[in-house]
Amino acid sequence: MANTILVGAQWGDEGKGKIIDFLTEKVDLVVRSQGGNNAGHTVIVGGKKYVLHLIPSGILRRGTMCVIGNGVVIDAMSLAEEIEGLRKQGIRVTKDNLLISDCAHLTLPHHRALDRAREIAKGKGKIGTTGRGIGPTYSDKASRVGLRTGDLLEPARFSERLKVRLTDGNVQLKMLGVAPLDFRKTTVEYLAAAKIIAPFLGNTVVYLHKAVTAKKQMLFEGAQGTFLDIDHGTYPYVTSSNTTSGGACTGSGVAPNRIDKVVGTMKAYTTRVGEGPFPSENEGLGEFLHGLGREFGATTGRARRCGWFDAVCTHYAAILNGIDELAVTNVDGLDTMKTIKVCVAYKLGRKTLEYPPTDLDTLAKCEAVYEEFDGWQKDTTAAKKWNDLPAKCRKYLQAIAKLSGAKLSIVSVGPGREQTIVL
């Protein structure tokens, strides 16, 4: 398989974890390049469930190297827990299958506390973050005051710098009416986690450069989705990193001309968590999917907001990311529907829009224009080949791929590895 970037074409939770796991079989390396433990990739292998937050899904395959690049933000305590948790589930995590950039920024305990306190202070205007401290970590990075994973290798220097950051963080927490964090306790806890992570740290840029030279095949696993991108998403209801394909290059140090292909993952309908406009949102569809036990967040357990497939968004995502191929997931979620709607344009007053407006208030005023499709009303979960899918289902999938402007290449009809159809 060529060097491939996999992105989410909607608002995250497109089922990327499963598609990444599927594609990983054909690659030597899996690279994470943005976001932090706000991501939650659920992968089911042999009936066993694994939820990954920071570690690339490649960890579940023997012989696959996993790299966490410089663009990722790392909560060392959470990462240490994830490593230990995987080991308890029988997964090998060693220096031979995990390398972490020594330039990745650290999410510190006060980042988490500030993220939560700021959300509460925003009241109705909250973003609906995962509360994992992602925004405050990237803010410190951009302000050039952040601590990096490499600092963990020098415990004395780390605690000195942490003291400065924590003092500043505590002032801000106090202003928000939150109790300050204890420096000694925080340092001890963080350094304990650092011991678990330190052996994995190194220069990932050089490592990846050598891998490219040796013609190793790489998969860049995107976290979150296109419309959560800090530049191109529904700002300010976005995450703090570049979730679109360009972020894979800056967040790993692999140059754009080393990339061969971009795969976009999207659900057969749309979901989003957190606040912000969502033109094709449909409460009835949400109730239906939640009733099936679907669409609860892997990271926060929150019920996701649900809506019809929005081709205005996925088409824009295809342009932004340069999507060559599409992987459509959760097709089975629509198995029992009688009719299925697809948003094909937005109506803004008398105008019909082909692209989503960049201004949030304007987007909030847009009404979805729908085209209706017949539901297939048959179980698709056992389908192994394209022709096993009901004709109406194939018609629907081809239509949403065409509207999105990319080639349909993978269809997922359930969470298992075997429930994947390659076209």
Residue 20, both tokens: 């990444």
Of 240 and 419, which CB lies nearer to ligand IMP in the complex structure?
240
| Residue in this structure with the two tokens 């505590």, named with its chain if needed | 170
Q: Among the candidate windows 38-46, 82-90, 186-194, 375-383, which touches ligand IMP by CB under 6 A? A: 38-46
| Residue in this structure with the two tokens 């269809």, named with its chain if needed | 411
Q: Judged by CB under 6 A, does residue 414 bind ligand IMP? A: no
Of 139 and 217, which CB lies nearer to ligand IMP in the complex structure?
139
314 burial via Cβ count (<10 Å: 0-12, 13-18, 19+): buried
Contact residue for ligand IMP among 239, 252, 270, 404 (CB under 6 A) = 239
CB 299 within 8 A of CB 37: yes
Q: Judged by CB under 6 A, does residue 303 bind ligand IMP? A: no
**Per rule CB under 6 A, count of chain residues that contact ligand IMP:** 20
Q: Judged by CB under 6 A, does residue 114 bind ligand IMP? A: no
44 burial via Cβ count (<10 Å: 0-12, 13-18, 19+): middle
Q: Judged by CB under 6 A, does residue 128 bind ligand IMP? A: yes
Smallest separation, CB 410 to ligand IMP (Å): 20
Smallest separation, CB 17 to ligand IMP (Å): 10
Q: Judged by CB under 6 A, does residue 52 bind ligand IMP? A: no
Q: Judged by CB under 6 A, does residue 134 bind ligand IMP? A: yes
Q: Which of the 8 DSSP states describes residue 14?
A: S
Q: Judged by CB under 6 A, does residue 119 bind ligand IMP? A: no
List Cβ neighbours of 420 (8 Å cut-off, separation of 6 or more). 18, 19, 22, 410, 411, 412, 413
Smallest separation, CB 298 to ligand IMP (Å): 8
List Cβ neighbours of 55 (8 Å cut-off, separation of 6 or more). 32, 66, 68, 79, 82, 83, 86, 93, 98
State which of positions 272-291 bind ligand IMP (CB under 6 A): 273-274
Q: Judged by CB under 6 A, does residue 107 bind ligand IMP? A: no
Cα separation, 173 vs 73, whole angstroms: 21
Helix segments in 16-133, DSSP class H: 16-24, 76-88, 109-122
Task: Tell me whether residue 388 is one of the annotated catalytic residues.
Answer: no
Of 97 and 240, which CB lies nearer to ligand IMP in the complex structure?
240
**Max Cα–Cα distance, the chain, nearest Å:** 65
Task: Tell me whether residue 374 is one of the annotated catalytic residues.
Answer: no
Enumerate binding residues for ligand IMP (CB under 6 A): 12-13, 38-40, 127-130, 132, 134-135, 223-224, 228, 237, 239-240, 273-274
